[in-house]
Amino acid sequence: MNTFEQLADLEERLAATKKKLEHAALIGAYLQSLPSGEIALAARLLIGRVFSEGDPRILNVSGAAIERVVAQTIGTSELARVDGAVDFGDAVEKILRQAGHTRQGAPLTLDEVWHAYEELATLSGPGSRERKDARLRELFERASALEAKYIVKHLIREMRVGVNEGTLLDALARTTGIPGATIRRAYQFTGDVGKVAEAALVQGEQGLGHLEPTLGHPLKPMLAQSAVDIPDAFTQMPLGETALEYKLDGARVQIHKSGDAIRVFSRSLAELTYSLPEIVDEVRREIKARDAIVEGEVIALTPEGRPRPFQDIMRRIGRERDVAEMQREIPVKLYLFDCLYRDGELFIDRPNAARWQALTEVAGGIARVERRVPESVAEGQAFLKQAQDAGHEGVMAKLLASPYLPGERGKHWLKIKPIITLDLVIVAADWGYGRRTGWLSNVHLAARDSETNEWLEVGKTFKGFTDAEFKALTDRLLALKVKETRGTVWVKPQIVAEVAFNNVQTSPQYKSGVALRFARVVRLRDDKPPEETDTVETLKRLLGD
């Protein structure tokens, strides 16, 4: 019997060391000790992920619900303040220990806890709050204080143990002796550390070889780093060997065609098929292949055919009600920029130039993004101005020789916008005063530390929001609340904001060591998952720019 306490003990040992070799040894030994049916779920839980990427299920358990159930568990109406807690999970552990809490009944098994999470994700509708509270109370009553700590961390997705996808994949490579490149490739194709861990440990390298891209299962998107301007981009990429493309301000989509069956996925691997019926029809009609995986951008258009604001396309994305009405109100257009698969041929390892040629052959009457291979910096700058004049936000620079690297943010792709922005996560907000009384208005922005996987603050701002947006944001943040201290509401790190700023400076105030000057929110990026936001290392590279 594999208990949940074994996983919690492992997480504690992982959090106590920053040594990567020790992380790998601990993770490898633990996963090898599990029966094959539990490897996948344990691997996901180690990095704080209950369900695989692309799985539409969400736990939707608020911090307020956890506080309420913990209070019921220890028999009090409210929880006392806990000093010295580093996060919500740590606070719950301390509260339970102070109350003398001991588990009731048999120890929780790993499988039982996961199935409880699965059940929580299915509860909705009238009476769901009471049913969720009851199920949570069962978990906390049977959990030790340490187990409760990690149950909370899973529920709010705030692990803080220094283990991320990369750590786990490295542990698998060291444990099995399978080349790291092979393991990472399998992860790029599936986006599921659980599936990769199970295949590597049970079937070895041969099992990983079967994890190929599959029609109907989205790949993680390739990501880009930022360049300050066109000259900066061409210090990193050679002229004549780099394509520039319009950077459209829309929703990135990955489209899978299998005969007449069309499925559309977002950059976060969520399905959008039902909200974009005109795109589905166009792909079915125009794509010149029986089976294909293509990638592109969907933008909203004005009656004159110019791009509408990003917020307009977000009103279409993921919508399943009143779709026909929204089609009339917000017409959209698809632009393609990559071809990953066509009729049995996988193009991921092919250079960008070859993928563009394949896209040209397969796109039919569907528009492709405007593209040019400049021979001079001046030509590149002129192309950027052309993109801006057409209403777009900038250009992408793509190395012609580069393969497609799912889920990786390397230097093969660069994004160039006149105003540099970063994608950061809101981790807290302060209650406003004056005209903003009653609203959460000063948001705390955080970037992810790629070494520890922690969210580290890099600045605060109240700029960029209208009154209506402050009110709507307040409701969203309160639904994600995990604790409140002295006028600051701390929330689950789930809301992504695109943030403009003047420059980055060193900061002794923040653990990250860096801070944004004159930060302002450009927009919320509900199309982006927190895992795709910029890192502390990205900010450090921009120091002094």
Name the fold adopted by 421-541: OB fold (Dihydrolipoamide Acetyltransferase, E2P) (2.40.50)
Catalytic, 247? Answer yes
Marked catalytic residue, from 195, 247, 483, 528: 247
User: pLDDT tens-digit profile of 73-96?
Assistant: 998 877 777 777 778 898 899 999
Cα 284 from chain centroid (whole Å): 29
Half-sphere exposure of 5 (CA within 13 A, CB side): 11
Q: Is the pLDDT of residue 545 over 50?
A: no
Residue 518 near residue 502, CB atoms below 8 Å: yes
Q: Where in the chain is the domain with CATH 2.40.50.140?
A: 421-541
Average pLDDT value for residue range 331-355: 96
Q: Residue 432: what pLDDT?
A: 85
Class of domain 4-156: mainly alpha
The correct CATH number of 223-416 out of 3.40.920.10, 3.30.230.10, 3.30.450.20, 3.30.470.30 is: 3.30.470.30
What is the DSSP secondary-structure string of 312-376? HHHHHTT--SSHHHHHHHS-EEEEEEEEEEETTEE-TTS-HHHHHHHHHHH-TTSEE--EE--SS
- Greater pLDDT, 314 or 28: 28
Q: Residue 1: what pLDDT?
A: 66
Residues 6+ apart with CB under 8 A from 251: 266, 267, 272, 297, 298, 299, 313, 314, 316, 317, 527
Residue 545 near residue 503, CB atoms below 8 Å: yes
Q: Residue 119: what pLDDT?
A: 94
Q: Where in the chain is the domain with CATH 1.10.3260.10?
A: 4-156
Q: How confident is the model at residue 206 (pLDDT cuts 50, 70, 90)?
A: very high
Q: Where in the chain is the domain with CATH 3.30.470.30?
A: 223-416
Q: Is the pLDDT of residue 268 over 70?
A: yes
